[in-house]
Structure 1
Amino acid sequence: MTQTSDNVTWLTQEAYNQLKAELEYLSGPARTEIATKIAAAREEGDLRENGGYHAAKEEQGKQELRVRQLTQLLENAKVGEAPAATGVIAPGMVVTIAFDGDEDDTLSFLMASREYASDEIETYSPQSPLGSGVNGHKVGETVEYELPNGKLASVKILEAKPYTG
């Protein structure tokens, strides 16, 4: 679970450990693997027309970007517990909403930063239009928020419970 506030990201211990393990892998074994790929591709000859070399260098760039992102995130992380089940929407909660108050058109999502995204449940950050629209509101409230195209959308908050992961 995460909550971002003034460059401080709140993480559960589990999320912190998961991100730290990813950083350790990317900083160690993954760097060795990509260096091996680059060296092998270099031996194939002319680098200007070497697709394998360019693909490996691009992959290396993506890995290094992720290393920098994780390093910054973990340096600014504050580890804490998941939010309590108070009915108030906060990062770390699974929220169920009904679009335009239609309880047949619902969405359940985890309110957390993208670092906590998974295939199990859709994740919306507190800074997203929907996330910022419902953040701090209570179950039962109807909330309007602005879509990226400038239009307004309305949702009714049906449920909010701590994510148990």
Structure 2
Amino acid sequence: MSKIIFFLSLIILVASCKEEAKETTVVHESLWQSTKDSLPVKIGLDTKAHAILKDWLEYNALDKSFDKMYSSDYIEDFELVIDEIIENQKKLEESEYPEKFNIQQIKGRQKLFKTFVLKTKGDLEYRQNPTESMIQMIKAYNDLRNQFNVVVNNTLPEELLKNEEN
């Protein structure tokens, strides 16, 4: 009699564990979908900034990689996109900047963007919730794009800007 009760409880235990594993997979996918839907949007560029940036191939590659982030359906796809963003960001950092954007304000915002990309990559590798670091990364990228707009719309003479560095 005790053997029958033991086997019956073992079967119930195994059956209940299998159903719970299916539920966690669905929850994981729905969490990624809600995370992806809550991301801030990428800000636009002025036509002046866009005219300068269209010839900068490394920046255009980074921008295309960044756009893929919004279309990734699964977190595994997003991990691949982050790897691509890291590679393109390294190429951008090593590339020759357009003369108008070869200033410390642009390079500083680019380093901040790199920091948050690596933070997001770390969250993904350690299976932590990447939502906060993703939002910070997008804000840093928007700040970089906004700085492009500020530089091209700046009406201050170059002498004043050079005087500020001293």
Choose between structure 1 and 2: higher strand proportion.
Answer: 1
Q: Which has the larger radius of gyration?
A: 2
Choose between structure 1 and 2: higher helix proportion.
Answer: 2
Q: Which has the higher contact order (CA 8 A, sep 6+)?
A: 2
Using the size of structure 2 for normalisation, the TM-score is: 0.29
